[in-house]
Structure formats: structure tokens, C-alpha cells
Amino acid sequence: MWIILLAILLYAEICVGATLVYWCATNPDEIELAKRLVKEWNHSHSETTIKLQPVPAGASSEEVLLAAIVAKTNPDIYSNMLPAMLNKFVKADTLLRLDGLKNFAKETEARIGATILKDYRSPDGHYHQWPWKLNPVMLVYNIDLFQKLNIKPPRTYDEFWTAAKKLTADTDGDGRVDRWAMSPSMTVMWWQRLYDFLPFYMAATNGRSLLNQGRADFNNVSAIAVMDFFQRGFARGYFPKSGTVSNLFAQQKVGMTIVGPWALKMFERSMAQKFNFKTIPIPVPDGHHGPAYTFGDPKSFVVFKNTQHPEAAWEFVKFMTSKKADKLLLDITGQIPVRKGLINDSYYKEVFVRRKNLIPFASQVPFTKPGDNSEHIVEILDFLGQQYEASAVYGTIPANKAIENAANHVEHIYKNW
Amino acid sequence: MQSEQSHSKAGILFTSPYLIHLVVFFLYPVGFSLYLVFHRWDLMTDPEYVGLRNFTYLMSDHLFWQALTNTLYFLVIHIPLQIIVALALAIVLAKPLKGRVFFRATFFLPVVISGAAVTILWQRLYSTEVGLINYVLSLVGIDAVPWLTDPGIAMPAIAIMATWKNLGLYVVFFLAGILAIPQTVYEAAKMEGASSWHEFRYITLPLLKPTMFLVVVMSTLGGFNLFIEPYVMTGGGPLGSTMSVVLYMYKQAFSFQHMGYAATLGFALALIIMVCVFIQKKYLDSERYY
């Protein structure tokens, strides 16, 4: 009797096939992309059904994911994994080792290439993530404003200050400054440092990251120069000390901003008056040699170890990162897939012709780094944020002291936690 | 004998919903938190026994002491402000005013609105450049005040907002207390020639002592639980000036996954609250009710 029941269940499983839950990011463009691709997959793969769900609401998607893992309600596949956070999940043995799956090496060679892939290796030497997109954080400036004020796009800190001086002004003559050079965040939220301190640090150091084998690797002159750069900006009034959350660049209240390609559509949507803008690399310290590297705000696909269908999940990941899917990613979301030779591939030429403002971001990819992969990264960036706030925003401690404190705290974190 | 047994069964049956609730939502969490106090746990890997390490870390953790100082500073502003304003409004609303019911409902409205929504609203009001408060101040020639970005102003600004949010509840408490005072006492005082001030000082205030104790204890408990306001409005900044103990505990637990240390912070906070309420009880909760 039991054997017959089991046989029926097994047959039903074979007939119905696998159902996999896939969580994507919550921004509207990514949901649109995911819906389109999942629909296409479900239409052509009757043996594996994908159930799509945007990441449930929370303070950050990482916190939500963590809670889901603890409650054992995590999805099978997740596409919004920040590599910096990956090690925490690897250490807890929650992620599937992808390099043990069929054709991993072949797929890697076709899409990414060994040089880029090594940036995504876990500390245990294996691969638990499939690099999906890499969005270089760059400097976007208002061309119309720059031309009107006869300002040269800044490549170095000196050139930046020249531009900042001209941009910062009281435009309506009421005695208050109402236009600034740039508006870096004042908040201590850990991920904010990925869009101010880290890209400038990577630009100043030819792509160095903050940690090296569990030790702080940023107690150096370049980090101090970066902290000093932000301190000067706030102290001279070139950056507003404002708690406002509105988009000052789209309102033309600042001439420059530091963003990734995902923000371009947002600018176009929220512009009160249409204006032209252009993207250039992050400024570097005067006398810097070499290209200006930057942080890439990368996101990867991961498959959770408790999935019942690892091979099917891997097939879906490959589908979501296929040549065709990458073209849709570029077109619908304006984000840059991690794909070697992207900019010169004729397959994507049509998108770049239509969306010229993506070309600088795609060209920057070879000089873009995914950042550190540490289980303590949130705490490290949080403390760095506190030092940034004290030194850069409020000027209560000198830049070198702020960097020294942050570096010492890294040792403290590794020792205590 | 059988009847006693059936009574006992019925008793257990009737109390079981509460007992289940007590075990699941109180005893188990408290017990598990106590277990965590002696462990290091990151939610995903197995807890590791660390003895008293979380306690020793807490004693030397200057961020905890800063958060505690900030919370006490908040209470020092919030509790007196809450009592003075709520009592004043209750006294006014106790009089036969025109539209009294409307005003009572209006003052109570912020209490029932979601804390997060109110906080976001006040964040906009406090905005240095585009906030309504600074706009009104500019009309009378006062320069823009950096409400949430000045370390010296941010916590008082949050205290004002929190007072506004909870005011209605305490107005209701005081109003109930005032209306419970027999009118004959006031009439007798009037016949003796007492002024309005004397009535307030020697009749209203002493007879409101039990209500006052309730308001102080509830404000203290609410104040120590300060979380949503700094979480949404300032993130604990500027320069850590609005980092409350609960926000710090939340950060340790859910941002850094230091669950054992967060549980230790929770127990420390519970202990501090107990001490505060004990002191308040000693000085305010006199047995000599009039």
C-alpha cells in the first residue's frame, strides 16, 4: 500500500515538475525585467516552474534575506546578493557551491572570463555566486550648467574645487546659498559609504579595497586624502549640510552627483526642467597616475543550499544571464551586465546607440571592483560612516584620526566578533 | 471530589489561552534571551557559549553609555514637557468650553496615527531647507534652524515631536483625574476665598498625584523605548546624538547580528527601567491619597 502511494507521489512529482521560488530586487524596472523573463521561462520550460516574488519589504534586502533563512522561508534563487555580504552566508553554509555544477567552467569562460571571476571567489576558494551586474559608480554632471559657467569637467581634486567654487552660489539673491557643487550623503547608514568614500578611495588607489585578509588595508595617505576631500567640501560650503531627501541634482540645485547607471532613468523622470548631463570617472588626487577605478555596486545570483532542485535552479540562473537576458537587463533597467567585451559586442550595439548615456558606464567596467567580501562588512562600513560623519561632515576630528580610528575598529571587530 | 476535579479542569481550560500566550510570547522569549546573554549568536550558525563576556563588553562599550546618556537626556526633556503641556490642556478642556469634544478628539488624533507616518511627516517639517517650520520662522526674520542636523538640537527636536505624538493620551489621563475631583472641594475652597492658583496648587495637584504617578511611569517606559523617531529621522546621528539604547540594541541585533550582545543590552535596559520606576514609586506613589 505504502509503496503504491510513494510511487504515485513520485509520478506526480515527475509529471508536475519542479517549482522554484525566485526573489528579485524591488525597483520597478527590475520587477518588469524579471516578470518578462520568468514568463518566457515558464512558457518554454514546463518541467520547472518559476514563482517570482520581489524581496519582501525591510530595512535592507540583506536583513530580510537573513530573517528568511533563519525562518527557513528563503527562496531557491536570489538575484540581489551584494558580494560584500556573501561571506556571512557562505560561513553559515546556506549557499550552493556553483563551481560544482554542470558546465560551470564553460559558462564562466563564455560570459565572464577568469580575470573578472576571481574577484567573486569566496575565501574558501570556491564560487557561491554568479556575477550578474556591475554598475560602476561615477560622477554625473550637468552639462548645461557647466557650459553656462564655463567650467571644465573635473578629473582631479584641484579641478573639482575650481568647479565647486563656481557652482556654489546664491542664485536668487536672498543672501542664502541655494546651489552647491555636489550633495554627498550626511547619514551614517552603512551602505552610503559605498557611494561616497569607497569609490573615491578606489579611484585614488587603482582599485584597492578596504580589507586584506581580515585586516584593515586603508590606513594610508590615499584614504586620508579622500576623507580630507569630503571634509573640505562640507567645510567650504560646497556640499550642503541638509537633512533633505529630495533629488537635488534633478532639481539643478547641485551641479554634480555620484551615482550608478540605474539613476539615469530616475533623473529623466524627476527633472523639473529638462537639462543635459554627462558621466565621467570619479576625480582622483592631484598627481595620480593610472586609470580612475571605482566601486561597481555589484549584484549576483545565488542558489540556496536547501533548494530541492539545484540543477534546475542553475539552468534558470544561466537563462537569466544569457546573452538575450543581458540585453534586456541593459535596455529595461539601464544596468550593466557582467559580460566580457560587452561594449564591443555587436549584439548590444543597438542598445548603446539608443541609450548613449550608458556607454561611459559600460566603458568603465574594466576599471570597476566589487569591493570586499567580509562577514563584518556592515559593521566596518557603519563605523567608517561614524568617522566620516565626525570628520568630513562636522569636522570634529582630523581626517587622519578618522581613518586611524576606523582602521583600529576593524581590528577590534575581528578580535571581538 | 469529582466536582473539585471537574472545577480544576475547567479552570485550566479557561486560563489556558492566557497561559499559552504567556508561555509563547513572554516566558519563552525571556528565557531564550537570558540564554543568549551568555552566548554569541549570529542567527545562522550555532550559538557559542561565551560566559560573562557580553557583560564585560557592555561595561567598556562607550557607544552603549553614549546611547544611555542620550536616552536619559531625552527623558529629561520629554517627561516634564509632556506633563506640563498635557496638564495645562486637560485643565482647559475640563472647563465648559465651546467645541470641547472636537478639541479632545483633535488632541488624541496623533496617538492613533502610525508612529512611522508621524515621524516621516515631522522629518519633512524639520527639513532645514524646505521644511514648513523654518519657512514660518523665516517669515519673522529667524534664520533656518538645522533641527535634525545639529548635534545640540536634534534630540530636543525629537523630544518635541514625541511629546506631540503622545500628548493626547496623557491629556485623557489628566482629564479623567480632574473630572474625578469632587466639585464640592472647589466650592468649599472658593467660600474660604481661595484664588485659582490656590485651587490648582492645593486641590488639583495633590488630588492628581495617582494620575501623575501613572503618567510619569508611562512616559518613562515609553521614553526608554525611544526607537522609531531616531530610526527614521536621524539614524542615530548627528554624531550619535540621537542614538537611543533601543536603536543601538536594534543595530547590534539586526544590522550586525550580535544577538547575544543585543540580548545583554535588553536585560541591562530592563534593569535600568526597574531602578527608575522604583525611584519614581518611592517619591511619587505616596500611600497618602486624598
| DSSP assignment string, A28-66 | HHHHHHHHHHHHHHHHH-TTEEEEEEEPPPSS-HHHHHH
What average pLDDT does the structure give for chain B?
A: 91
Specify the CATH superfamily of domain B61-284.
MetI-like (1.10.3720.10)
**Closest among A12, A10, A20, A15 to A308, alpha carbons compared:** A20
The amino acid present at A8, given as its one-letter code, is I
| Candidate from B7-11, B107-111, B131-135, B168-172 with smallest mean pLDDT | B7-11
Q: What DSSP designation does A156 have?
A: B
B47 CB within 8 Å of a chain A CB: no
Please check the confidence at residue B71 and state whether its pLDDT lies above 80: yes
Q: Any idea where the domains of chain A sit in the sequence?
A: 2-128+299-337, 138-293+373-416
B277 CB neighbour count, 10 Å cutoff: 16
User: Which pLDDT score is estimated for A12?
Assistant: 53
Determine which helix (DSSP H) or strand (DSSP E) holds A316, and give its type and residue range: helix A310-320
Determine which helix (DSSP H) or strand (DSSP E) holds A67, and give its type and residue range: helix A61-70
pLDDT tens digits for range B205-232:
999 998 999 999 999 999 999 999 999 9
The rounded distance, in Å, linking the Cα atoms of A259 and A294 is 11
B254 CB within 8 Å of a chain A CB: yes
Query: Could A186 and B237 be called an inter-chain contact, meaning their C-beta atoms sit closer than 8 Å?
Result: yes
**Closest among B215, B193, B204 to B95, alpha carbons compared:** B204
Contacts of A205 (CB under 8 A, 6+ apart): A220, A222, A293
| Mean pLDDT calculated for residue range B271-278 | 94
Averaged over successive runs of 10 residues, the pLDDT of chain A (417 residues) comes to 61 67 93 96 93 85 84 92 88 91 87 85 90 95 96 97 97 88 90 95 95 90 97 96 76 94 86 90 94 94 94 95 95 93 92 93 92 89 96 96 96 87
| Candidate from A242-251, A281-290, B46-55, B61-70 with smallest mean pLDDT | A242-251
Collapsing DSSP states into helix, strand and coil, what is residue A304? strand
User: Which pLDDT score is estimated for A11?
Assistant: 57
Residue given cell 573639482 in the structure block: A160
User: Which pLDDT score is estimated for B147?
Assistant: 92
B260 CB within 8 Å of a chain A CB: no
Q: Is B31 exposed, middle or buried (0-12, 13-18, 19+ CB in 10 A)?
A: exposed
Return the residue in B44, B121, B137 with the most chain A beta carbons within 10 A, the one to mutate for interface testing: B44
Please check the confidence at residue B173 and state whether its pLDDT lies above 70: yes
Please check the confidence at residue B32 and state whether its pLDDT lies above 80: yes
A410 CB neighbour count, 10 Å cutoff: 23
User: Which pLDDT score is estimated for A357?
Assistant: 92
| Mean pLDDT calculated for residue range B3-27 | 87
Q: Cα separations (Å) of A7 from A47, A48, A309, B180?
A: 19, 20, 19, 75
C-alpha cell at B82: 509632556
Question: CB-side exposure of B269: number of CA atoms within 13 Å?
Answer: 27
Contacts of A274 (CB under 8 A, 6+ apart): none
Contacts of B245 (CB under 8 A, 6+ apart): B64, B67, B68, B71, B224, B226, B265, B269
Task: Look up the ipTM and state it.
Answer: 0.80
Determine which helix (DSSP H) or strand (DSSP E) holds A23, and give its type and residue range: strand A18-24
**Closest among A133, A101, A102, A110 to A120, alpha carbons compared:** A133
For chains A and B, count residue pairs whose Cβ atoms are closer than 8 Å. 77
Query: Could A88 and B147 be called an inter-chain contact, meaning their C-beta atoms sit closer than 8 Å?
Result: no
The rounded distance, in Å, linking the Cα atoms of B122 and B162 is 10
Query: Could B129 and A187 be called an inter-chain contact, meaning their C-beta atoms sit closer than 8 Å?
Result: no
**Closest among A54, A47, A45 to A22, alpha carbons compared:** A54
Residue of A92, A246, A378 with shortest CB distance to B256: A378
User: Which pLDDT score is estimated for A4?
Assistant: 67
Tell me the residue length of chain A.
417
Residues of A near B (Cβ–Cβ under 8 Å) read: 59, 63, 66, 69-70, 88-89, 91-92, 94, 176, 186-190, 240-246, 375, 378-379, 382, 386, 389-390, 393-394, 396, 416-417
| DSSP assignment string, chain B | -HHHHHHHHHHHHHHHHHHHHHIIIIIHHHHHHHHHHTEE--SSSPPEE-TTHHHHHHHH-HHHHHHHHHHHHHHHHHHHHHHHHHHHHHHHHHS--TTHHHHHHHHHHHHHS-HHHHHHHHHHHH-TTT-HHHHHHHHTTPPPP-TTTSTTTHHHHHHHHHHHHHHHHHHHHHHHHHHTS-HHHHHHHHHTT--HHHHIIIIIHHHTHHHHHHHHHHHHHHHHT--HHHHHHTTT-STTTT--HHHHHHIIIIIS--HHHHHHHHHHHHHHHHHHHHHHHHHH--S---
User: Which pLDDT score is estimated for A85?
Assistant: 85
| DSSP assignment string, A202-263 | HHHTTS--SEETTEE---SHHHHHHHHHHHHHHHTTSS------S-TTTTTSBSEEEE-TTH
The rounded distance, in Å, linking the Cα atoms of A145 and A253 is 10
Shortest distance, CA A116 to any CA of chain B (angstroms): 29
Specify whether domain A2-128+299-337 bears CATH 2.40.30.10: no
Ramachandran sector of residue A220 (left: φ over 0; alpha: ψ -120 to 50; beta: rest) = beta
Please check the confidence at residue B142 and state whether its pLDDT lies above 80: yes
**Closest among B201, A358, A101 to A349, alpha carbons compared:** A358
The rounded distance, in Å, linking the Cα atoms of B161 and B131 is 14
The rounded distance, in Å, linking the Cα atoms of A79 and A121 is 17
Please check the confidence at residue B243 and state whether its pLDDT lies above 60: yes
Residue of B148, B255, B258 with shortest CB distance to A417: B258
Q: Any idea where the domains of chain B sit in the sequence?
A: 61-284
The rounded distance, in Å, linking the Cα atoms of B59 and A249 is 45
Contact (CB, 8 A) for A226 and A201: yes
Shortest distance, CA A309 to any CA of chain B (angstroms): 22
User: Which pLDDT score is estimated for A13?
Assistant: 55
C-alpha cell at A301: 545570483
Residues of chain B with C-beta less than 8 angstroms from the C-beta of A92: 42, 44-45
Return the residue in B143, B250, B256, B261 with the most chain A beta carbons within 10 A, the one to mutate for interface testing: B256
C-alpha cell at A370: 566589487
Name residue A215's beta-bridge partners.
Answer: A212
User: Which pLDDT score is estimated for A232?
Assistant: 97
Specify the CATH superfamily of domain A138-293+373-416.
Periplasmic binding protein-like II (3.40.190.10)
The amino acid present at A254, given as its one-letter code, is V
B146 CB within 8 Å of a chain A CB: yes
Q: Is B192 exposed, middle or buried (0-12, 13-18, 19+ CB in 10 A)?
A: exposed
The rounded distance, in Å, linking the Cα atoms of B196 and A362 is 77
